[in-house]
Each structure stands twice: as structure tokens, then as C-alpha cells.
Amino acid sequence: MELVQRLQCWWRNEQLITATLAALTARTGVHEQSWPSGTSVASVLAWHDQQLAASRTPHGVNAARIVTVNGSLILLDISVDQRHHWYAVRDQVGEQLAPLLATHMVTTGVINLGTAVHTALTRTKGDST
């Protein structure tokens, strides 16, 4: 009986991972914005704040990744926990963005894992009913 329970648990986890990857591939929870040179750091950080605040957090999954790109070069890539770590690193991100925004067009992106997991959970629950 224990083997059957373990197999069921593994199967549910496998379904959730597959559904989460499908949601991310469909860009659920993925947001990006391009900023022309001269954009204020405060504007970019406010946009990041909005994206992180809007993310879903099912079962405590609230991880996000913030990526800053100039062309094909990744300039900044951090993983954060929206509820705690973002405000601890927010000023550091701003300091790193300031010189980039002064002279380059920069694209920033936020990947909300919690939002993708929420969508995946909704889909997998819907498939089982």
C-alpha cells in the first residue's frame, strides 16, 4: 500500500512540474518591459514592485527571478522571495541599474514562479475533476 501511495505522490508532483513548465512556456507570470536610456531608476523599481505584488503565492511559493538585459547580454540576474528578500536587495538593484539606464536602453523582466504554479495547480485540479 505504501508503494502505491508513493507512486501517486510522484505522479501528482510530475504533473505539477509539467504543468508549471507549460505555464511558464506560455509566459504565465512572465513580464518584461523595455526602458529607454534616461529612464529613472525609481520608475523601473516601481514597475518591479507592481509585478512582484501582483504575483500569486500558492502554498507559500513566492519566488521570482528578475533579469536585466542589454541586447543579448544579461547584466543582472537575481532570484528573490517577493515577501522578504526583494526589499533587502531593491536598493542594490537600483544602484546597478542607474549607470545602465543612464546610457543604454535596458529590458527588465520578472518571472513569477508562484503565478505559474498557481496556474498549474488550477489546471491540474481541473483535469482531475
93 touches 44 (CB < 8 A) = no
CB 82 within 8 A of CB 26: no
CATH of the domain at 8: 3.30.1490
Can you give the pLDDT at residue 61?
Answer: 65
- Inform me whether the pLDDT recorded for 33 exceeds 60: yes
For the segment 45-54, the average pLDDT, to the nearest whole number, is 86
Return the closest-CA partner of residue 113 out of 28, 14, 1. 28
Whole-number percent of the chain with pLDDT over 70: 88
pLDDT band at 128 (very low <50, low <70, confident <90, very high): very low
Q: How many structural domains is the chain composed of? A: 1
**Contact of 66 with 78, CB cutoff 8 Å:** yes
Rounded distance between C-alpha atoms, residue 24 and residue 6, angstroms: 27
Distance (Å, rounded) from C-alpha 115 to C-alpha 77?
19
Residue 41, H or E segment: helix 41-53
Taking the C-alpha atoms of residue 55 and residue 74, their distance in angstroms, rounded to an integer, is 23
Q: Which residue has the higher pLDDT, 39 or 112?
A: 39
**Nearest-angstrom CA–CA distance, 48 and 113:** 15
pLDDT higher than 80, residue 105? yes
Helix (H, G, I), strand (E, B) or coil at 68: strand
> What average pLDDT score do residues 3-13 get?
78
For residue 67, the enclosing domain spans 2-128
| Model pLDDT for residues 63-80, shown as the tens digit of each residue | 777 788 777 778 778 787
